[in-house]
Amino acid sequence: MAREQKPTGRGDARRQAKATGLVRHKRHSRWREFWAPLLKVVAITLAVALVSGASVAAIAVNQFATKVAANSVDISNGKKPAKTAKAASFAGGFNVLVVGVDNSTAQGESYGERDTTLNDVNILLHVSADHKSAVVVSIPRDLVIAQPECTNPDTGDVNSAVDAEAVNASYGRGGLGCVVSTVSELTGLDIPYAGLISFQGTVAMADAVGGVPICLNDAIDDPLSGLNLPAGTSVVAGQTALSYLRSRHGVGDGSDLSRISSQQAYMSSLMRVMKSNSTLTDVSKLTGLANAAGTNLKLSTSLANIPTMVSMALALKDIDLDKLVFVQYPSAEDPENTAKLVPSEELATALFAKIQADQPFTLDENSLGNSTQADPAAPAPAETPAPAETPDPAATDPAATPAPAAPETIAGLRGQTANQQTCSIAYDY
Protein backbone atom coordinates (compact mmCIF):
# COMPACT_ATOMS: atom_id res chain seq x y z
CA MET A 1 0.00 0.00 0.00
CA ALA A 2 1.36 3.35 -0.99
CA ARG A 3 2.14 5.49 1.98
CA GLU A 4 0.45 8.95 2.05
CA GLN A 5 3.00 11.64 1.32
CA LYS A 6 3.17 14.61 3.64
CA PRO A 7 3.71 17.98 2.06
CA THR A 8 7.35 18.92 2.30
CA GLY A 9 7.44 22.42 0.81
CA ARG A 10 5.43 25.62 0.43
CA GLY A 11 4.15 24.51 -2.99
CA ASP A 12 2.99 21.14 -1.66
CA ALA A 13 1.31 22.80 1.28
CA ARG A 14 -0.46 25.23 -1.04
CA ARG A 15 -1.66 22.38 -3.30
CA GLN A 16 -2.99 20.45 -0.34
CA ALA A 17 -4.69 23.53 1.05
CA LYS A 18 -6.28 24.18 -2.33
CA ALA A 19 -7.59 20.62 -2.42
CA THR A 20 -9.25 21.04 0.96
CA GLY A 21 -10.61 24.54 0.22
CA LEU A 22 -8.30 26.29 2.64
CA VAL A 23 -6.77 28.64 0.09
CA ARG A 24 -10.05 30.27 -0.76
CA HIS A 25 -10.86 30.63 2.93
CA LYS A 26 -7.49 32.24 3.55
CA ARG A 27 -7.96 34.76 0.75
CA HIS A 28 -11.37 35.63 2.14
CA SER A 29 -9.76 36.28 5.52
CA ARG A 30 -7.19 38.57 3.96
CA TRP A 31 -9.99 40.47 2.22
CA ARG A 32 -11.71 40.96 5.54
CA GLU A 33 -8.49 41.91 7.34
CA PHE A 34 -7.76 44.67 4.82
CA TRP A 35 -11.10 45.97 3.55
CA ALA A 36 -13.37 45.57 6.56
CA PRO A 37 -11.43 48.13 8.65
CA LEU A 38 -11.33 50.46 5.64
CA LEU A 39 -15.10 50.41 5.26
CA LYS A 40 -15.74 50.79 8.98
CA VAL A 41 -13.32 53.61 9.76
CA VAL A 42 -15.62 56.51 9.00
CA ALA A 43 -15.53 59.86 10.74
CA ILE A 44 -17.26 63.24 10.81
CA THR A 45 -15.13 66.30 10.19
CA LEU A 46 -17.80 69.76 11.47
CA ALA A 47 -16.58 71.12 8.77
CA VAL A 48 -17.12 71.01 6.71
CA ALA A 49 -17.44 70.18 7.39
CA LEU A 50 -15.93 72.00 7.05
CA VAL A 51 -17.43 73.85 7.20
CA SER A 52 -20.06 70.99 6.74
CA GLY A 53 -19.68 67.57 8.49
CA ALA A 54 -18.60 64.47 6.57
CA SER A 55 -17.56 60.82 6.61
CA VAL A 56 -13.97 59.62 6.13
CA ALA A 57 -12.37 56.27 5.72
CA ALA A 58 -8.68 55.51 5.99
CA ILE A 59 -6.62 52.70 4.54
CA ALA A 60 -3.61 53.47 6.71
CA VAL A 61 -5.62 53.57 9.93
CA ASN A 62 -2.66 53.78 12.26
CA GLN A 63 -1.10 56.61 10.30
CA PHE A 64 -4.38 58.49 10.25
CA ALA A 65 -4.91 57.99 13.99
CA THR A 66 -1.39 59.23 14.72
CA LYS A 67 -1.95 62.42 12.69
CA VAL A 68 -5.26 63.13 14.39
CA ALA A 69 -3.86 62.55 17.88
CA ALA A 70 -0.83 64.75 17.18
CA ASN A 71 -3.10 67.63 16.10
CA SER A 72 -5.54 67.30 19.00
CA VAL A 73 -6.52 70.32 21.09
CA ASP A 74 -7.46 70.65 24.77
CA ILE A 75 -10.85 72.42 25.06
CA SER A 76 -11.17 72.29 28.85
CA ASN A 77 -10.55 76.07 29.08
CA GLY A 78 -8.42 75.77 32.19
CA LYS A 79 -10.85 73.43 33.93
CA LYS A 80 -10.51 69.74 34.69
CA PRO A 81 -11.47 67.93 31.47
CA ALA A 82 -14.74 66.04 31.71
CA LYS A 83 -14.60 62.31 31.25
CA THR A 84 -15.72 61.39 27.76
CA ALA A 85 -17.10 57.97 26.95
CA LYS A 86 -15.25 55.99 24.31
CA ALA A 87 -17.95 53.44 23.73
CA ALA A 88 -18.27 51.51 20.50
CA SER A 89 -21.47 53.41 19.78
CA PHE A 90 -23.32 56.44 21.11
CA ALA A 91 -26.31 55.48 23.22
CA GLY A 92 -27.73 59.01 23.03
CA GLY A 93 -27.33 62.37 21.36
CA PHE A 94 -24.24 64.54 21.20
CA ASN A 95 -23.04 68.06 20.38
CA VAL A 96 -20.02 69.04 18.30
CA LEU A 97 -18.73 72.55 17.60
CA VAL A 98 -16.85 73.16 14.36
CA VAL A 99 -14.85 76.39 14.21
CA GLY A 100 -13.38 77.95 11.09
CA VAL A 101 -10.58 80.41 11.82
CA ASP A 102 -9.36 83.41 9.88
CA ASN A 103 -5.65 84.27 9.93
CA SER A 104 -4.43 81.02 11.45
CA THR A 105 -0.73 80.24 11.19
CA ALA A 106 -1.57 77.40 8.78
CA GLN A 107 -3.45 79.45 6.20
CA GLY A 108 -0.45 80.93 4.38
CA GLU A 109 0.12 84.51 3.26
CA SER A 110 -2.31 84.51 0.32
CA TYR A 111 -5.34 85.27 2.51
CA GLY A 112 -4.01 88.44 4.10
CA GLU A 113 -3.02 89.18 7.68
CA ARG A 114 -4.81 90.45 10.77
CA ASP A 115 -3.69 91.40 14.23
CA THR A 116 -5.27 88.31 15.78
CA THR A 117 -6.86 85.01 14.82
CA LEU A 118 -10.66 85.21 14.59
CA ASN A 119 -13.23 82.43 14.75
CA ASP A 120 -15.29 83.65 11.79
CA VAL A 121 -17.26 80.41 11.31
CA ASN A 122 -18.95 78.77 14.29
CA ILE A 123 -21.14 75.76 13.55
CA LEU A 124 -22.83 73.72 16.26
CA LEU A 125 -24.04 70.22 15.37
CA HIS A 126 -26.65 68.52 17.57
CA VAL A 127 -27.62 64.90 16.88
CA SER A 128 -30.79 63.67 18.59
CA ALA A 129 -30.71 60.81 21.08
CA ASP A 130 -32.59 58.50 18.69
CA HIS A 131 -30.18 59.41 15.84
CA LYS A 132 -33.13 60.18 13.56
CA SER A 133 -32.63 63.93 13.23
CA ALA A 134 -29.94 66.57 13.54
CA VAL A 135 -29.69 70.35 13.72
CA VAL A 136 -26.77 72.47 12.55
CA VAL A 137 -26.75 75.98 14.05
CA SER A 138 -24.57 78.67 12.45
CA ILE A 139 -23.66 81.34 15.00
CA PRO A 140 -22.93 84.75 13.42
CA ARG A 141 -19.42 86.00 14.02
CA ASP A 142 -20.74 89.54 14.71
CA LEU A 143 -23.17 88.42 17.43
CA VAL A 144 -22.41 90.47 20.57
CA ILE A 145 -22.85 88.42 23.74
CA ALA A 146 -21.43 87.90 27.22
CA GLN A 147 -18.37 85.66 27.30
CA PRO A 148 -16.89 83.65 30.20
CA GLU A 149 -13.45 83.77 31.74
CA CYS A 150 -10.98 82.09 29.39
CA THR A 151 -7.50 80.64 29.83
CA ASN A 152 -4.91 80.91 27.08
CA PRO A 153 -3.84 77.28 26.50
CA ASP A 154 -0.32 78.30 25.41
CA THR A 155 0.60 80.84 28.09
CA GLY A 156 -1.79 80.03 30.92
CA ASP A 157 -2.86 83.70 31.03
CA VAL A 158 -6.45 84.23 32.17
CA ASN A 159 -8.77 86.66 30.38
CA SER A 160 -11.60 87.93 32.58
CA ALA A 161 -15.23 87.44 31.63
CA VAL A 162 -16.77 90.17 29.48
CA ASP A 163 -20.35 91.45 29.26
CA ALA A 164 -20.51 92.29 25.57
CA GLU A 165 -18.10 91.01 22.93
CA ALA A 166 -18.47 89.75 19.37
CA VAL A 167 -18.42 85.95 19.06
CA ASN A 168 -15.42 86.00 16.72
CA ALA A 169 -13.23 87.50 19.45
CA SER A 170 -13.51 84.40 21.64
CA TYR A 171 -10.73 82.44 19.91
CA GLY A 172 -8.27 85.26 20.58
CA ARG A 173 -9.30 85.24 24.25
CA GLY A 174 -8.39 81.60 24.83
CA GLY A 175 -8.28 79.40 21.76
CA LEU A 176 -10.75 76.69 20.82
CA GLY A 177 -11.61 75.99 24.46
CA CYS A 178 -12.80 79.57 24.89
CA VAL A 179 -15.01 79.35 21.79
CA VAL A 180 -16.54 76.14 23.14
CA SER A 181 -17.19 77.69 26.57
CA THR A 182 -18.68 80.81 24.97
CA VAL A 183 -21.06 78.88 22.71
CA SER A 184 -21.97 76.53 25.56
CA GLU A 185 -23.01 79.48 27.76
CA LEU A 186 -24.92 81.07 24.87
CA THR A 187 -26.91 77.95 24.00
CA GLY A 188 -27.15 76.19 27.35
CA LEU A 189 -25.79 73.00 25.77
CA ASP A 190 -22.92 70.86 26.98
CA ILE A 191 -20.36 70.65 24.15
CA PRO A 192 -17.82 67.88 24.78
CA TYR A 193 -16.48 67.70 21.19
CA ALA A 194 -14.99 70.30 18.86
CA GLY A 195 -12.90 70.71 15.73
CA LEU A 196 -10.85 73.53 14.23
CA ILE A 197 -10.31 74.11 10.50
CA SER A 198 -8.43 76.82 8.60
CA PHE A 199 -8.73 78.20 5.05
CA GLN A 200 -6.22 75.63 3.82
CA GLY A 201 -8.23 72.84 5.40
CA THR A 202 -11.42 73.99 3.69
CA VAL A 203 -9.66 73.90 0.33
CA ALA A 204 -8.27 70.43 1.00
CA MET A 205 -11.65 68.99 2.02
CA ALA A 206 -13.41 70.40 -1.05
CA ASP A 207 -10.72 68.91 -3.29
CA ALA A 208 -10.99 65.53 -1.57
CA VAL A 209 -14.67 65.00 -2.47
CA GLY A 210 -14.11 66.05 -6.09
CA GLY A 211 -16.01 69.32 -5.81
CA VAL A 212 -19.39 70.50 -4.52
CA PRO A 213 -22.24 71.76 -6.76
CA ILE A 214 -23.38 75.29 -5.86
CA CYS A 215 -26.01 77.43 -7.57
CA LEU A 216 -26.16 81.19 -8.23
CA ASN A 217 -29.27 82.98 -9.47
CA ASP A 218 -27.03 85.41 -11.37
CA ALA A 219 -23.34 85.82 -12.18
CA ILE A 220 -21.15 87.02 -9.31
CA ASP A 221 -17.82 88.84 -9.56
CA ASP A 222 -16.67 89.65 -6.03
CA PRO A 223 -13.06 90.88 -6.05
CA LEU A 224 -12.93 90.96 -2.24
CA SER A 225 -13.32 87.19 -1.96
CA GLY A 226 -12.11 86.26 -5.46
CA LEU A 227 -15.46 84.68 -6.41
CA ASN A 228 -16.17 84.91 -10.13
CA LEU A 229 -18.82 82.46 -11.35
CA PRO A 230 -21.64 82.50 -13.93
CA ALA A 231 -25.32 82.10 -13.16
CA GLY A 232 -26.58 78.57 -12.69
CA THR A 233 -24.90 75.54 -11.15
CA SER A 234 -21.12 75.16 -10.94
CA VAL A 235 -19.11 72.41 -9.29
CA VAL A 236 -16.59 74.19 -7.08
CA ALA A 237 -13.44 72.89 -5.40
CA GLY A 238 -10.24 74.28 -3.95
CA GLN A 239 -9.85 78.04 -3.99
CA THR A 240 -13.16 78.61 -5.78
CA ALA A 241 -15.05 76.74 -3.05
CA LEU A 242 -13.32 78.83 -0.42
CA SER A 243 -14.11 82.06 -2.31
CA TYR A 244 -17.79 81.09 -2.38
CA LEU A 245 -17.81 80.36 1.35
CA ARG A 246 -15.99 83.62 2.13
CA SER A 247 -18.00 85.87 -0.21
CA ARG A 248 -19.94 88.43 1.80
CA HIS A 249 -20.32 91.38 -0.55
CA GLY A 250 -21.24 89.18 -3.51
CA VAL A 251 -24.41 87.55 -2.12
CA GLY A 252 -27.74 88.59 -0.63
CA ASP A 253 -27.59 92.02 1.01
CA GLY A 254 -23.83 91.94 1.53
CA SER A 255 -24.09 90.97 5.19
CA ASP A 256 -22.52 88.16 7.19
CA LEU A 257 -25.97 86.60 7.54
CA SER A 258 -26.16 86.32 3.75
CA ARG A 259 -22.78 84.60 3.79
CA ILE A 260 -24.10 82.15 6.39
CA SER A 261 -26.96 81.30 4.01
CA SER A 262 -24.41 80.52 1.29
CA GLN A 263 -22.46 78.35 3.71
CA GLN A 264 -25.62 76.45 4.59
CA ALA A 265 -26.42 75.93 0.90
CA TYR A 266 -22.87 74.60 0.46
CA MET A 267 -23.11 72.27 3.46
CA SER A 268 -26.47 70.96 2.27
CA SER A 269 -25.00 70.22 -1.14
CA LEU A 270 -21.93 68.63 0.46
CA MET A 271 -24.15 66.31 2.49
CA ARG A 272 -26.00 65.27 -0.67
CA VAL A 273 -22.65 64.54 -2.31
CA MET A 274 -21.49 62.55 0.70
CA LYS A 275 -24.73 60.54 0.72
CA SER A 276 -24.32 59.60 -2.93
CA ASN A 277 -22.86 56.21 -3.80
CA SER A 278 -20.24 57.84 -6.01
CA THR A 279 -18.55 59.23 -2.91
CA LEU A 280 -19.18 56.58 -0.26
CA THR A 281 -17.96 53.75 -2.51
CA ASP A 282 -15.04 55.63 -4.07
CA VAL A 283 -11.94 54.44 -2.20
CA SER A 284 -9.74 57.21 -3.58
CA LYS A 285 -12.15 59.91 -2.40
CA LEU A 286 -12.50 58.35 1.02
CA THR A 287 -8.75 58.04 1.34
CA GLY A 288 -8.34 61.65 0.22
CA LEU A 289 -10.81 62.77 2.86
CA ALA A 290 -8.91 60.86 5.51
CA ASN A 291 -5.61 62.44 4.52
CA ALA A 292 -7.14 65.92 4.31
CA ALA A 293 -8.80 65.52 7.71
CA GLY A 294 -5.71 64.10 9.38
CA THR A 295 -3.51 66.90 8.06
CA ASN A 296 -5.80 69.93 8.26
CA LEU A 297 -8.20 69.36 11.13
CA LYS A 298 -7.44 69.92 14.79
CA LEU A 299 -9.88 67.92 16.87
CA SER A 300 -10.50 68.14 20.59
CA THR A 301 -8.72 65.46 22.59
CA SER A 302 -12.18 64.03 23.38
CA LEU A 303 -12.83 63.51 19.66
CA ALA A 304 -9.36 62.65 18.36
CA ASN A 305 -9.67 58.89 18.50
CA ILE A 306 -10.93 56.40 15.95
CA PRO A 307 -13.68 54.70 18.02
CA THR A 308 -15.36 58.02 18.86
CA MET A 309 -15.24 59.26 15.27
CA VAL A 310 -16.58 55.98 13.91
CA SER A 311 -19.39 56.00 16.46
CA MET A 312 -20.40 59.50 15.44
CA ALA A 313 -20.37 58.60 11.78
CA LEU A 314 -22.54 55.55 12.38
CA ALA A 315 -25.00 57.75 14.26
CA LEU A 316 -25.12 60.24 11.38
CA LYS A 317 -25.11 58.01 8.33
CA ASP A 318 -28.80 57.05 8.35
CA ILE A 319 -30.31 60.46 9.13
CA ASP A 320 -32.67 61.48 6.31
CA LEU A 321 -31.58 64.63 4.52
CA ASP A 322 -34.96 66.25 5.16
CA LYS A 323 -34.40 65.71 8.90
CA LEU A 324 -31.00 67.43 8.86
CA VAL A 325 -31.84 71.09 9.42
CA PHE A 326 -29.44 74.02 9.00
CA VAL A 327 -30.46 77.20 10.87
CA GLN A 328 -28.99 80.57 11.75
CA TYR A 329 -28.82 81.53 15.41
CA PRO A 330 -31.73 83.99 15.81
CA SER A 331 -30.43 87.54 15.87
CA ALA A 332 -31.34 91.16 15.27
CA GLU A 333 -29.42 94.35 14.53
CA ASP A 334 -27.57 95.75 17.53
CA PRO A 335 -29.21 99.10 18.32
CA GLU A 336 -25.90 100.44 19.62
CA ASN A 337 -23.89 99.37 16.57
CA THR A 338 -25.63 98.61 13.28
CA ALA A 339 -22.59 96.61 12.11
CA LYS A 340 -23.17 94.10 14.91
CA LEU A 341 -25.95 91.74 15.99
CA VAL A 342 -27.64 90.81 19.25
CA PRO A 343 -29.62 87.65 20.09
CA SER A 344 -33.35 87.48 19.38
CA GLU A 345 -34.10 86.09 22.82
CA GLU A 346 -37.63 84.75 22.31
CA LEU A 347 -36.85 82.90 19.08
CA ALA A 348 -33.52 81.60 20.42
CA THR A 349 -35.29 80.28 23.53
CA ALA A 350 -37.83 78.42 21.36
CA LEU A 351 -35.07 76.92 19.20
CA PHE A 352 -32.87 75.65 22.01
CA ALA A 353 -35.82 74.38 24.02
CA LYS A 354 -36.51 72.03 21.11
CA ILE A 355 -32.84 71.05 20.85
CA GLN A 356 -32.50 70.47 24.60
CA ALA A 357 -35.63 68.30 24.61
CA ASP A 358 -34.54 66.41 21.46
CA GLN A 359 -37.76 67.38 19.73
CA PRO A 360 -37.59 67.68 15.93
CA PHE A 361 -39.02 70.80 14.31
CA THR A 362 -39.66 72.19 10.85
CA LEU A 363 -39.07 75.56 9.20
CA ASP A 364 -41.75 77.78 7.73
CA GLU A 365 -42.13 78.58 4.04
CA ASN A 366 -40.22 81.87 4.41
CA SER A 367 -37.13 80.38 6.06
CA LEU A 368 -34.82 80.99 3.09
CA GLY A 369 -34.95 84.75 3.65
CA ASN A 370 -33.57 87.22 1.11
CA SER A 371 -30.16 85.66 0.38
CA THR A 372 -31.15 82.26 -1.02
CA GLN A 373 -33.97 80.94 -3.14
CA ALA A 374 -35.17 77.54 -4.27
CA ASP A 375 -33.20 76.24 -7.25
CA PRO A 376 -35.61 76.50 -10.19
CA ALA A 377 -33.70 73.76 -12.03
CA ALA A 378 -33.98 71.26 -9.19
CA PRO A 379 -36.39 68.37 -9.73
CA ALA A 380 -39.63 68.69 -7.82
CA PRO A 381 -39.70 66.48 -4.73
CA ALA A 382 -41.76 63.36 -5.14
CA GLU A 383 -45.16 63.64 -3.52
CA THR A 384 -45.62 61.25 -0.65
CA PRO A 385 -49.15 59.80 -0.60
CA ALA A 386 -51.11 60.75 2.47
CA PRO A 387 -51.30 57.84 4.90
CA ALA A 388 -54.68 56.30 5.50
CA GLU A 389 -56.33 57.67 8.59
CA THR A 390 -56.03 55.35 11.55
CA PRO A 391 -57.61 55.84 14.94
CA ASP A 392 -55.41 56.96 17.79
CA PRO A 393 -54.72 53.81 19.87
CA ALA A 394 -55.04 55.84 23.06
CA ALA A 395 -58.62 56.75 22.10
CA THR A 396 -59.74 53.12 22.40
CA ASP A 397 -57.12 51.75 24.77
CA PRO A 398 -56.04 54.14 27.57
CA ALA A 399 -52.94 52.00 28.21
CA ALA A 400 -51.73 52.28 24.60
CA THR A 401 -48.89 54.63 23.63
CA PRO A 402 -50.32 57.64 21.75
CA ALA A 403 -49.18 58.31 18.19
CA PRO A 404 -46.23 60.75 18.02
CA ALA A 405 -47.19 64.34 17.28
CA ALA A 406 -46.07 65.96 14.05
CA PRO A 407 -42.95 68.17 14.40
CA GLU A 408 -43.79 71.76 15.32
CA THR A 409 -42.91 74.58 12.94
CA ILE A 410 -40.75 77.33 14.47
CA ALA A 411 -41.76 80.42 12.52
CA GLY A 412 -39.12 83.06 11.93
CA LEU A 413 -36.04 80.82 11.81
CA ARG A 414 -33.73 81.25 8.83
CA GLY A 415 -32.30 78.15 7.21
CA GLN A 416 -33.00 75.08 5.12
CA THR A 417 -32.87 71.30 5.21
CA ALA A 418 -30.07 69.30 3.59
CA ASN A 419 -32.63 68.03 1.09
CA GLN A 420 -33.46 71.49 -0.24
CA GLN A 421 -31.58 72.56 -3.36
CA THR A 422 -31.09 76.30 -3.22
CA CYS A 423 -29.33 79.11 -5.09
CA SER A 424 -27.47 82.04 -3.58
CA ILE A 425 -28.87 85.39 -4.69
CA ALA A 426 -26.28 87.71 -6.22
CA TYR A 427 -25.88 91.05 -4.45
CA ASP A 428 -27.64 93.83 -6.37
CA TYR A 429 -25.17 96.68 -6.39
Phi-psi region of 243 (alpha: psi -120 to 50; beta: other; left: phi over 0): alpha
In this prediction, residue 58 carries a pLDDT of 38
**Domain span at 57:** 32-209+257-369+411-418
Helix axes 283-296, 61-70, angle to 10 degrees: 20
Handedness of CA 311, 299, 181, 184 (dihedral sign): negative
Q: Is residue 60 part of a domain?
A: yes
Q: Is residue 233 part of a domain?
A: no
Residue 170 backbone phi and psi in degrees, to 5: -70, -35
Phi-psi region of 238 (alpha: psi -120 to 50; beta: other; left: phi over 0): left
Nearest by Cα to 274 from 343, 171, 205:
205
Q: Is residue 307 part of a domain?
A: yes
Q: Where are the beta strands (DSSP E) in 114-272?
A: 118-127, 134-138, 144-147, 150-151, 158-159, 162-166, 193-197, 212-216, 220-222, 227-229, 232-236
Number of domains into which the chain is organized: 1
Q: Is residue 303 part of a domain?
A: yes
Q: Is residue 279 part of a domain?
A: yes
Q: Is residue 247 part of a domain?
A: no
Nearest by Cα to 201 from 293, 113, 273, 118:
293
- pLDDT of the chain, 429 residues: tens digit per residue: 444 444 444 445 444 444 444 444 444 444 344 433 333 333 333 333 333 333 333 344 666 777 788 888 889 988 765 555 444 456 678 999 999 987 655 544 444 555 678 898 999 999 999 999 999 999 999 999 999 999 988 888 999 999 999 999 999 999 999 999 999 999 999 999 999 988 777 778 788 888 999 999 999 999 988 999 999 999 999 889 989 998 988 999 888 899 999 999 999 998 898 887 666 667 677 677 777 777 778 889 988 887 787 778 777 778 899 999 999 999 999 999 999 999 999 999 999 999 999 999 999 999 997 799 999 988 865 554 444 555 555 556 666 656 667 889 999 999 999 999 999 999 876
CA distances from 311 to 142, 273, 358 (A): 34, 21, 19
Q: Is residue 250 part of a domain?
A: no
Q: Is residue 158 part of a domain?
A: yes
User: Under a CB-based contact definition with an 8 Å cutoff, are residues 302 and 81 in contact?
Assistant: yes
Q: What is the CATH number of the domain that holds 339?
A: 3.40.630.190
